[in-house]
Amino acid sequence: MTTPAPALYWLSRDFRFSDNAALNAALGHGPVLVVFLLDRQTREQGAASRWRLQRALEVFDAGLKRRSGQGVMILRGEAEEVFPALVQLTGARMVHQNDWPSPQMRQAQSHLREALRSVAGELKLYTGHLLASPQRIRTGQGGAFRVFTPFARALRRAGADRPRPDAPRQFAAAEPPAEVHGLTVLPLSGLNLAPDLHRGAAVLERFALPAGEAAAFERLDQFFDRAGPYPEARDRPDIDACSGLSEHLALGEISPRSLWALASLRAEADSAPGPGGAAAAGVEKFLSEVIWREFAWHLLLEDPQLTSLPWRRDWSGFPWRGEGEDLQRWQRGETGIALVDAGLREMWVTGRMHNRVRMVVASWLTKHLLIDWRLGLRHFENCLTDWDPASNAMNWQWVAGCGPDASPFFRIFNPETQAAKFDPKGQYRARWLAGWQGGRTTPEAAAFLASLPSDWRVSAPWAGASGALLQSGRSRALEEYRRFKDSDADS
Ligand code: FAD
């Protein structure tokens, strides 16, 4: 008896078995061969998110083995070389993939389609990274939204797509071929996706959140139980009020559609008369934040250069400063501004940073130091475990003032006022700055100091800068901005 040809499933950003349209479709065509590629876009991704991706891959591989007895096949190479070779070797015809509409992925998909044509193969894409198909959320004139509030209204009116049925608990998987001509098959055990993680994996491991699909659902469930204070407390880095789901969403360990469906059910149940009203409001606010993520992807789809060019192209000539000592000091959390330094140190040690603090550190870089937002974006890309190209770019452009619906340039965050408002007792700053205000060094602050590369000079205990820095940076930024705008008006 001949073995049936397998269906190929390209595992890229969808490390889950629930609401996984591509996996389900592949299962309908025969035993599935799950393939992960160590391709250019994975190798070029930031180190911390690559490290996190490996954890997602490990958990998915274990789940696949439990369900089918087979693991993920890992190949080094580009999609356009790997999949035609697999089609020829196995007799498969279709490659199924959940779409991840980043510009790099779009390019890889287009090359793959072209290459598959010569072997009579086909790439089939499925949605799953977004709440709703972008074609469904358009303005009255059929264009893309450029402003968040009407976008959010339209999305709520149209509703999120419904999650697809989950993959079966047991299914048939194809045994991965031992070798594929001309390509390197890599064992998961020997895969080191982030050899360039400067602070070393041990640092991130210590503060890492559990990875994988089960952990994502558990985190969501736990968040629902503490969602009541979220609307007010979500801006407080000293309080654990946010969901911590961004890593899971970035890796597709939970789909936004499943998250939306569960949250909507929960908000409905909690809004029944009784004590659940506050929780319902919390879940509602949480959903609004999830719409920001969706908006970011819509912007990136509309303008694939969102990660490298200002959305408002008239900002192309702004005289940003480039690399140098000020950028280095910012990256190392040594600006002398407590909230800024605490945030950058938190990111170095955990791969995470609270949203309010992300805004403050980004504002400090772009508005006080006048350094190019793209240098900040790249540092975040390298350091964040929840790195997401769309959210990262939209938010950097928002803070810098050159994005759609952005914070105006003249609105400059004052980190001291922000700290007084959102970290009123200084607990967050004390956690990350060794000896801050004469206090004891916390385990987090000690972990930061212990993780520093040998060529970084960072002083401990942490020393603050003079208040004059705050004012002088602000005036310089405003002056520069006026000059830029005046020259714009002249030209
Ligand atoms: P919660 O408050 O629990 O929010 C729930 C979910 O809503 C998040 O998981 C996220 O998916 C979404 N969300 C919340 N706020 C935003 C926002 N401002 N923009 C887009 N989506 C949002 N988020 C990323 O996932 N990846 C990034 O690379 C990234 N880079 C950022 C860079 C800057 C300069 C700034 C200011 C923000 C950035 N964010 C990014 C957005 C935000 O900071 C994180 O999504 C949030 O801190 C994640 O924590 P949480 O899951 O606990 O959020």
Residues 437-487 have pLDDT tens digits of 999 999 999 999 999 998 888 988 898 887 788 888 788 888 888 888 777
Overall average pLDDT of the 189-209 stretch = 89
Rounded CA-CA distance 167/18 in Å is 6
Rounded CA-CA distance 125/134 in Å is 14
Distances (CA, A) of 491 to 84, 294, 481, 486, 488: 53, 36, 15, 9, 5
Pick the more confident residue, 183 or 488: 183
**Number of DSSP helices (H) and strands (E) in the chain, helices first:** 21, 6
Note the pLDDT tens digit of each residue in 102-145. Answer: 999 999 999 999 999 999 999 999 999 999 999 999 999 999 99
- For 68-72, 195-199, 381-385, 419-423, which range has the lowest pLDDT when averaged over its residues? 195-199
Q: Determine the atom of ligand 1 nearest the C-alpha atom of 392.
A: 30
What angle is formed at CA 256 by the lines to CA 250 and CA 259, rounded to 5 degrees?
120
Query: What average pLDDT does the structure give for the chain?
Result: 93
Confidence of residue 1 (pLDDT cuts 50, 70, 90): low
Per-residue pLDDT, 404: 86
Confidence of residue 491 (pLDDT cuts 50, 70, 90): very low
CA 64 centroid distance within chain: 24
Is residue 41 within 6 Å of ligand 1 at its C-beta? no
Q: Is 188 helix (H, G, I), strand (E, B) or coil?
A: helix
Overall average pLDDT of the 312-317 stretch = 92
Q: How far is the CA of 223 from the centre of ligand 1 (A)?
A: 15
DSSP type of residue 365:
I
pLDDT tops 70 at residue 336: yes
Which distant-in-sequence residues (6+ apart) come within 8 Å of 300 by Cβ?
A: 101, 102, 103, 306, 307, 389, 390, 393, 394
Q: How far is the CA of 288 from the centre of ligand 1 (A)?
A: 12
Residues in a beta bridge with 8: 33, 95
What secondary structure does DSSP assign to 193-242, as a single string? S-TT-TT-HHHHHHHPPPPSHHHHHHHHHHHHHT-TTHHHHTT-TTS--S
pLDDT tops 60 at residue 163: yes
Is residue 362 within 6 Å of ligand 1 at its C-beta? yes
Confidence of residue 488 (pLDDT cuts 50, 70, 90): low
Rounded CA-CA distance 31/236 in Å is 49
Is residue 395 within 6 Å of ligand 1 at its C-beta? yes
Is residue 137 within 6 Å of ligand 1 at its C-beta? no
Rounded CA-CA distance 86/76 in Å is 13
Overall average pLDDT of the 89-103 stretch = 95
Per-residue pLDDT, 367: 92
Overall average pLDDT of the 41-63 stretch = 97
Rounded CA-CA distance 121/93 in Å is 5
Furthest CA-CA distance within the chain: 81
Rounded CA-CA distance 209/216 in Å is 10
Query: How does strand 32-38 pair with strand 184-186?
Result: unpaired
Rounded CA-CA distance 447/349 in Å is 7
DSSP type of residue 304:
T
Nearest to 87 by CA among 79, 76, 98, 77: 79
- pTM equals 0.96
- For 69-73, 224-228, 324-328, 408-412, which range has the lowest pLDDT when averaged over its residues? 408-412
Rounded CA-CA distance 27/420 in Å is 55
pLDDT tops 60 at residue 257: yes
Q: How far is the CA of 246 from the centre of ligand 1 (A)?
A: 6
Q: What percent of the chain has pLDDT over 70?
A: 98
Is residue 480 within 6 Å of ligand 1 at its C-beta? no
* Among protein residues, the one whose CA lies closest to atom 46 of ligand 1: 355
Dihedrals φ, ψ of 91, to 5°?
85, 5
Per-residue pLDDT, 278: 78
